[in-house]
Amino acid sequence: MINNDRAMEHLMDLLAIEGPTGRETQVAAAITRKLIEAGCRKSWIRTDDAHRRLGDGYETGNLIVRLPGTIRTAPRIMFSAHMDTVPLCRGAIPQIRGGRVVSKSDTGLGGDDRSGCAAMVTLAETLLKNKVPHPPITLLFPIAEENGLHGSRMVRFEDLGNPVMGFNLDGQEPNEIVIGAMSSVRWQAEITGISTHAGLAPHKGVSAGLIASRAMARIAQEGYFGRIEKGHRKGTSNLGTMHGGEANNQVMDNAVLTGECRSHSPAFLDQIVRVYRKSFEQAALSVTNDAGRTGSVEFSVISDYRAFRLKKTETCVRIAREAVESLGLAPNPLVMDAGLDANNFNEKGLPTVTLGTGSHRFHQVDEYVEIQEYLTACRVLLAITQLTAR
Ligand SMILES: [Zn+2]
């Protein structure tokens, strides 16, 4: 029932649109156009005010489409796929090479997560054009996933029409069913030193750069940088950005470092964050000028999301398995070492699995979409609507 040519057209069109985090307006406009062409009423489509509540120059809100069910007694289900891409995908020109869609330019492709968006457009078109009986369906296209799952965190459930289960599309093979993902926090250390002339009076200064270096060196020495393994407890941490200083002849009096920490265990994640905080505080005390003055650090956690683990008996897990099996594939339940919009849905009480749509090598210049997998994923979505219509 799915028209492969149309499904590919949707994929290629959406991949060609630039839409890094916070700049999703064109993506939302293109999806809206396609959905109206597919037969969606304008009154089913809206964007929320997530961008205004996030502040900081986000352009547009989450795109929410509420299809009424032809089977009105069936409970509402939700599909979701984020609209934003990582900055690496700027300027991507999608082209088909072999059985894959790749980027012609030296950029990421943006199959993460436009392949999910395109699969949802294909689903709506297939249901409406062929008049396929279906339950009430919400299509959610969140903004700002890549920089910390902000769009999905801001979604109001009443805007979604209170779905009972969710199917998030943000993965790789069409048989994978992500039933768990990890906790994560983003941290920031703002270091204040004392500025003096670097040649005439360096001993009167306190270098924020030296404090930062000592803190990071200590974290690494204690085994809490990069991949972390302490007995059976595992996690990761990273220093993502560093900004500081103004001139080479001036002792650096300000530096801001940001990064992230992750773990499947919320308790171990707390431990990693404690090591970071302590290391920065002690590093600040360890750097003094000739009068014994020190610098200072403000260490803060700037955003976070929680680990989840769905039971195999959970309805959305069971439906996803049956849908994958109905296409002759073996379901592959997974726990992810990353955060997903599904973290926020599960935390708010909406059981949500995450499925693959043929996207591979996320956030890399060799990112690609495996065409057969993408087309199979479109069929998995259709199967889900039929299984939940019963
Ligand atoms: Zn993604």
Beta strand 296-305 pairing with 308-309: unpaired
Q: What is the pLDDT of residue 39?
A: 97
Are the C-beta atoms of residues 291 and 219 closer than 8 Å to each other? no
Q: What is the pLDDT of residue 72?
A: 82
| Å from CA of 209 to ligand 1 middle | 34
Q: What is the pLDDT of residue 199?
A: 96
| Å from CA of 84 to ligand 1 middle | 8
- HSE-CB at 217 with a 13 A cutoff on CA atoms is 8
| Å from CA of 130 to ligand 1 middle | 30
| Å from CA of 70 to ligand 1 middle | 31
Question: Of 164, 167, 142, 136, which is closest to residue 44 (Cα–Cα)?
Answer: 136
Mean of pLDDT values over 302-311:
87
Q: What is the pLDDT of residue 14?
A: 98
Look at residue 244 and tell me whether its pLDDT is greater than 80: yes
| Å from CA of 270 to ligand 1 middle | 25
Q: What is the pLDDT of residue 71?
A: 93
Residue 383 is encoded by which pair of tokens? Answer: 């199967």
pLDDT, tens digit, 9 for 90 and up, residues 375-390: 999 999 999 999 999 7
Mean of pLDDT values over 103-125:
96
How far, in Å, CA of 33 to CA of 122, rounded? 13
| Å from CA of 238 to ligand 1 middle | 19
Band of residue 221 on the pLDDT scale cut at 50, 70, 90: very high
Query: Can the peptide bond before residue 113 be classed as cis, meaning omega within 30 degrees of 0?
Result: yes
Look at residue 57 and tell me whether its pLDDT is greater than 90: no
Amino acid residing at 333 = P
Q: What is the pLDDT of residue 127?
A: 98
| Å from CA of 170 to ligand 1 middle | 5
Question: Angle at Cα 382 formed by Cα 376 and Cα 385, nearest 5°?
Answer: 145
| Å from CA of 17 to ligand 1 middle | 16
Are the C-beta atoms of residues 150 and 340 closer than 8 Å to each other? no
How far, in Å, CA of 236 to CA of 238, rounded? 7
The pTM score is: 0.84
Band of residue 177 on the pLDDT scale cut at 50, 70, 90: very high
| Å from CA of 313 to ligand 1 middle | 26
How far, in Å, CA of 262 to CA of 268, rounded? 9
Write b or e for each residue in 205-222: b if 16 or more Cβ atoms lie within 10 A of its Cβ, otherwise e: bbbbbbbbebbbebbeee
- HSE-CB at 295 with a 13 A cutoff on CA atoms is 32
Mean of pLDDT values over 319-335:
97
| Å from CA of 279 to ligand 1 middle | 32
| Å from CA of 146 to ligand 1 middle | 7
| Å from CA of 312 to ligand 1 middle | 23
Q: What is the pLDDT of residue 231?
A: 95
Q: Which residues pair with 180 in a beta bridge?
A: 309, 335
Q: How far is CA 327 from CA 177, 185, 331, 378, 383, in A?
A: 14, 38, 10, 11, 9
How far, in Å, CA of 185 to CA of 198, rounded? 36
| Å from CA of 268 to ligand 1 middle | 25
| Å from CA of 199 to ligand 1 middle | 49
| Å from CA of 93 to ligand 1 middle | 19
Residue 113 is encoded by which pair of tokens? Answer: 């997560």
How far, in Å, CA of 387 to CA of 54, rounded? 37
Look at residue 303 and tell me whether its pLDDT is greater than 80: no
Q: What is the pLDDT of residue 105?
A: 86
| Å from CA of 339 to ligand 1 middle | 9
Question: Of 354, 360, 361, which is closest to residue 380 (Cα–Cα)?
Answer: 354
| Å from CA of 177 to ligand 1 middle | 15
Q: What is the pLDDT of residue 148?
A: 87
How many C-beta atoms surround the C-beta of residue 165 within 10 A?
22
